[in-house]
Amino acid sequence: MAGQAANERKRYAPDERRQMIVDEAAAFFSEVGLEGTTRELSQRLGVTQSLLYAYFASKADLLEAVFERVYLDRLSPDWPAQIADRTVPVRARAQHFYREYTGAIFTYEWMRIFMFSGLAGTELNRRYLGHLAKLILEPLCAEMQHAAGKKDGPQMEDIWNLHGGIVYIGIRKFVYCVPTPDDFGPPVEAAVNRFCDSFGLE
């Protein structure tokens, strides 16, 4: 699938080749970790190792391209508006968001690269989580507080607990590689429902 037959040399346009490299690199590094070697990656591409350096100045450069490809546009620009749409009950809004969000990030590549780079101390993770909080989770928290009215609504730490319980499904599957439900929909929906129930949200 990845390899090239023997010594056949195929010549691609730079843009195309670059994308081939980044794609395979994302798959490769998500599998073996950020310390995977450029040599092994080049083998999987059916290409010499030196070719990688025709496209990227350094391995760090290549990794940056991988991060960009994996994270970029994972946060849909529609979500903030949907979270804020009070014509729909908060519970349904939360359900909708987490259905889409888990659909977007519950992939082998995303989950593992996010974890690898988190452990490596990359600033990208903190920045991503900051964005997520600012754009989505904090507004969601505010909406739930508004919907709770007189009753006590959730605080941000409660929202993080909801979030963590859901994300943990992906961690179990793609990081720990233990069995999980085939369909993530039901457990995610149940988690959101329990959360809303416990705060008396409609």
Partner DNA sequence: GCTCTTATTGATCAAATGATCTATTATGAT
Partner DNA sequence: ATCATAATAGATCATTTGATCAATAAGAGC
Contacts with a second copy by CB under 8 A lie at 33, 35, 112, 115-116, 118-121, 125-126, 129-130, 157-158, 160-169, 171-172, 175-178, 181, 186-187, 190-191, 193-195, 197-199
- Regarding 60 and contact with DNA (CB under 7 A), the answer is yes
Choose the contact partner of 131 out of DNA, a second copy, none; CB within 5 to 8 A by kind: none
Give the nearer residue to DNA in terms of CB position, either 9 or 150.
9
Choose the contact partner of 125 out of a second copy, DNA, none; CB within 5 to 8 A by kind: a second copy
Instruction: Provide the 8-state DSSP code for 194.
Output: H
- Nearest-approach distance from CB 4 to DNA, in angstroms: 7
- Gap between the Cα atoms of 99 and 95, Å rounded: 6
Sign of CA pseudo-dihedral 25, 29, 35, 36? negative
- Regarding 5 and contact with DNA (CB under 7 A), the answer is no
- Regarding 31 and contact with DNA (CB under 7 A), the answer is no
Helices H / strands E in the chain, number of each:
11, 0
Entry field: residues in the chain:
202
- Regarding 12 and contact with DNA (CB under 7 A), the answer is yes
- Please select the residue that binds DNA; options are 1, 11, 87, 202, rule is CB under 7 A: 11
Q: What is the DSSP string of 105-154?
A: H-SHHHHHHHHHHHHTT-HHHHHHHHHHIIIIIHHHHHHHHHHHTTS---
**CB of 17 closer than 8 Å to CB of 45:** no
- Regarding 150 and contact with DNA (CB under 7 A), the answer is no
- Regarding 117 and contact with DNA (CB under 7 A), the answer is no
Both tokens of 162, joined, read 């909801």
